[in-house]
Amino acid sequence: MMSKRKSKKKLKSDDIDVMTHFDDLIKDLMYRMIEASKADIILNKENKPAPNKLMMLNEVKSMLLSKERYEQLIENGFFGCVAEWLSPLPSQDLPSIKIRTTLITILYDYYKDLDIATLKASRLGKKIAFLSNHPKEEYDNKKYARKLVRIWMRPIFLLELEEKERILKETKRNQAYDESVKRRRLSNEPTIESETSRARVPQYVARVYLQNPSSEVDVIQVPKCDSNSQYKKLSQKFQERIKKDKKNDSLIKVSIEGRKL
């Protein structure tokens, strides 16, 4: 048991050592690729031949062809250096045709499944798209570059299509809902909203009652009186009072001289 555990630990440690060794190789090659690119830029500005990248091409090719290092190449950002090698020189001339053909062919044969994040981070997608439409690029390189761009862009196109379909469905759903609300309002039917972000204004609904509700209030009926008879009684009382007042006036006579006082 102890021997098996030790062997497993040795295997794990050996794997780690191998991965670390590959990482060191990749980083060393990346450093030298950047230095070669800088040297070629300086030589190009001086109108001199720029052979530094071309002399390293076989090393870069062998690194790209090692499939077991695929993940490590991505993790270490190796494709950023590849994109730099495919960039035009300060004189706007393209890199060596041998460099372009070798790198585009290897990318098409082995790296069609590069993810969008890697392509964006390395800017490799932009460089290949640039070469696919460049007037001075060779026909075969253009053909493979365009195929690569279509393959790499397929997930993006699918995402865009899915987003457009989602927006279209949502728009249709909202339009159908608005139309149903309008129809209900025209027919004076109450609308019920499942989820609303604001309160609705109460709407007036006309109702016609077929049967009047019964009243619960006790009504006391007052007997009607004859207005003519009441008027006659009042007028008689008034006439009688006038007569009495006249009699009293005739009985009491006041003398100006004060004789009967």
Where are the chain's structural domains?
17-158
Tokens 């082995």 — which residue? Answer: 110
Per-residue pLDDT, 247: 62
- Please count the other Cβ atoms lying within 10 Å of the Cβ belonging to residue 92: 8
CA of 106: how far to CAs of 21, 52, 112, 249, in Å?
A: 24, 20, 10, 146
Residue type present at position 139: Y
For the chain, 261 residues long, give each residue's pLDDT as a single digit of tens: 545 455 445 445 566 676 788 899 999 999 999 999 999 999 999 999 999 999 999 999 999 998 788 899 999 999 999 999 999 999 999 999 999 999 999 999 999 989 989 999 999 999 999 999 999 999 999 999 999 999 998 877 556 555 666 676 677 777 777 777 777 777 765 555 544 555 666 666 666 656 666 666 665 555 555 556 676 777 787 777 777 766 655 545 555 554 544
* Count of residues in the chain: 261
What is the b/e burial string over 149-169, where b = at least 16 CB atoms within 10 angstroms of the residue's CB?
Answer: beebeeeeeeeeeeeeeeeee
Per-residue pLDDT, 159: 61
Q: What is the pTM of this model?
A: 0.57
Per-residue pLDDT, 203: 66
Beta carbons within 8 Å of 63's beta carbon, 6+ residues apart:
25, 26, 29, 69, 73, 78
Cα distance between residue 180 and residue 191, in whole Å: 9
Cα distance between residue 41 and residue 55, in whole Å: 15
DSSP, res 111: -
Can you tell me whether residue 73 is helix, strand or coil?
helix
Per-residue pLDDT, 8: 46
Fold of 17-158: Transcription Elongation Factor S-II; Chain A (1.20.930)
Cα distance between residue 261 and residue 257, in whole Å: 9
Per-residue pLDDT, 250: 54
Per-residue pLDDT, 90: 93
Cα distance between residue 83 and residue 29, in whole Å: 14
CA dihedral for 208, 214, 216, 222, sign (positive or negative):
positive
